[in-house]
Each structure stands twice: as C-alpha cells, then as structure tokens.
Amino acid sequence: MDKFFEYDAVEWNGDKTGVKIIDQTLLPKEEKFLILRTPEQVYEAIYKLRVRGAPAIGVAAAFGLYVSLLPVEGEMDHFTAEFRRIKQYLFSSRPTAVNLGYALERMESCFKKNIALGLEGIKKALLAEAEAIKNEDVQMCRAIAENGLTLMRPGVRIITHCNAGHLAVSRYGTALGPIHLAQQRGLNPRVWVDETRPLLQGARLTAYEMVKNGVDATLICDNMAASVMARGEVDMVFVGCDRVAANGDTANKIGTMSLAVLAKHFGVPFYVLGPSSTIDRNCATGADIVIEERGASEVTDFDIKVFNPAFDVTPAELITGIVTEKGIFRPPFGFGIEK
C-alpha cells in the first residue's frame, strides 16, 4: 500500500534534532506542523492530544526522549539521572496507552545495553532504537490492514469510533487501515463515522482521513449508532484500542463500550484492531486498567460537576475478534493472546 498521506503523524525534522508532528487539535480546518525539542513540549503535545493514538504516542515519546537528551552533557551519572527523569516525566503524560510505556522501556533497555559506549555512543544507539520503534510500527500497521481486509467484502458497511487511522499511528492506521486499503483496492467500503465526544476525534480526524482518501463516509452523532444498526445498515464495527488486558478486555475512547453493547444486541460483529504491543500481559482484566479523566472544560464551561473519563473498557465477551499484525484472535482471548 502506497503512502497516501504526504506526511506521517510523527517524524523527524530535517536534521533529527526535533520531533515533527501535525497539530491534531486544529484539524480538519488547519494543517499546522510543530517541531518539539524539549521534554515539556513533548509532554504538552501528548497530554493536549496534539499527537494522539496509542502507537503514535509511543513513537512520539521515543523520539521525544532522544531529542530531549541531545543537549545533555557532563558525567554519566548526570546523564543517567536526566534520562530517568525525562523518561518518567513523559510516561506520566498519558498512562492509559500501553505503547507509551512500551516505547520508553525499550529506550531504557537500549540505554543500559550501550552505557559503556559513552554519551555520544548512547545517543546514537537511542536514535537507532527510536527509528526501529517507528519502522516496526509501520510494518505492524500494514500487516493489520492486510489481516483486517480479509474480513471485508465489496461495499461493506462499517461503523467506527474515535480515530484509529493514519493520524494515530506511524502510518496506515489500525482500525482504519483496512478501510484505506480496501478503498485503494476498489472494494468501495462505506463508513459510518461516530463523532466521538467530547473531543470529536471522529468528526474531526476520522472524517478528515476519509475525505482525504476518497472513502464514502457519513458522519453521525454518537447517539445515532443504534438507529443505523436497527435499519440494517451496518455490517461490522471496527475500533482501535489503547490497551488490551490478558483476558481480552479492551480500553478505547469513551463510548466504545456502548457501541459494543449495541453491536451485540443487533448481531453485528465487533472487531478491535491494534498492534500486539497493545496487549498488556501484566494486566489481568480491564478492571486493572487505569482510566484517565480529562478536564471539565472539554465538556462545558458551566459551573457544574463533570465526570469526563477519556476511555471505557469493553468486556471481552462483547468482542468478536482482535485483529493484530500476527493474525485475528478470537475467544477465548486469554489462551489466544498467551499462545
């Protein structure tokens, strides 16, 4: 599959001294690119959702850790302390996305393996590791798209939630990857795009991607999914994931669980698509997943208490299959994931 966007969600600036991202908070009205060079800039971009999507967050954190360490000099003890401080600081930006911790742990492992090389040698090794994390994500997403495509037929009607496309990963997408691939191969999929409150990542970002790639897409409010399913106009549901527990419970943007419940009621297959790195074998069930809560201002400026969780957890029994680069896992997920 060719690169259908002229940019990746996370990439280097020209001399690899900064992380280049597109500010997703401004889409679809404005395509503005940012260059991040400090821990504070990387943290703010992740926390404020200027870069978002579990895989893209992991890549941004790896790139960001490297560029943040470029100006650090002096004794190895000082460099080590700065490495650990910045790593922990970046990790605190979005705790729900397992890819964030996965990428940062890989960078720390690389650091430890190359500590005998001195500061310059360590920095070169960290650069190579950050690039490897991105390249592996590109290949994983391509494989996810191919595996997801096997579930589709010409004219298939899909409903999706939030944004799990090109903007959320290194390239291609997870839940949207098969849709983009199907479009390029002439299957002409039809997509119902959930607006996805409170940040409208479906209405802003998925809609942007669908229009940009010429996909036949229709935007609906989150409370309209039941109506289109009841009319028999949905063949399957494709959603992404930020973390998958060992039993198959899945954390994704708030509203995903509601969509899964509706799909179960109307007999619509419900698929979760994401890289195998999103599977957290140390997390037994969805009850162990930390759900971050966003600020009240994202919902209202009225003086009232606001409950604004960023994610919910879809129980494994509502999921038809989990599509990864390794294949399509089906219940019972605990056995399939371990295998």
Question: What confidence score (pLDDT) does residue 287 get?
Answer: 96
Q: Which residues are catalytic?
A: 242
Instruction: Compute CA distances 329 → 147, 247, 274, 277, 339, whole Å.
Output: 11, 12, 11, 14, 10
pTM over 0.75: yes
Maximum pairwise Cα distance, the chain: 67
**The residue count for the chain:** 339
24: burial class by Cβ within 10 Å (0-12, 13-18, 19+)? buried
Q: What is d(CA 243, CA 113) in angstroms, rounded to the nearest whole number?
A: 28
Q: What is d(CA 275, CA 326) in angstroms, rounded to the nearest whole number?
A: 8
> Which domains can be identified in the chain, with CATH numbers?
10-141 (1.20.120.420), 144-338 (3.40.50.10470)
Question: What confidence score (pLDDT) does residue 139 get?
Answer: 94
Q: Which residues contact 125 (CB under 8 A, 6 or more apart)?
A: 110, 111, 113, 114, 117
**Identity of residue 82:** E
- DSSP track, 134-185: HHHHHHHHHHHHHHHHTT--TT-EEEE-S--BGGGSSSSBSSSHHHHHHHHT
Q: Split the chain (339 residues) into runs of 10 and give each run's mean pLDDT.
A: 76 96 95 97 96 91 98 96 98 84 96 96 98 94 97 98 94 94 96 95 96 96 98 98 94 97 98 89 92 91 95 97 95 72
Q: What is d(CA 275, CA 324) in angstroms, rounded to the nearest whole number?
A: 5
Q: How far apart are the first and last CA of the chain?
A: 29
For the chain, helix (H) and strand (E) counts, in that order, are: 11, 14
Q: What is d(CA 135, CA 48) in angstroms, rounded to the nearest whole number?
A: 25
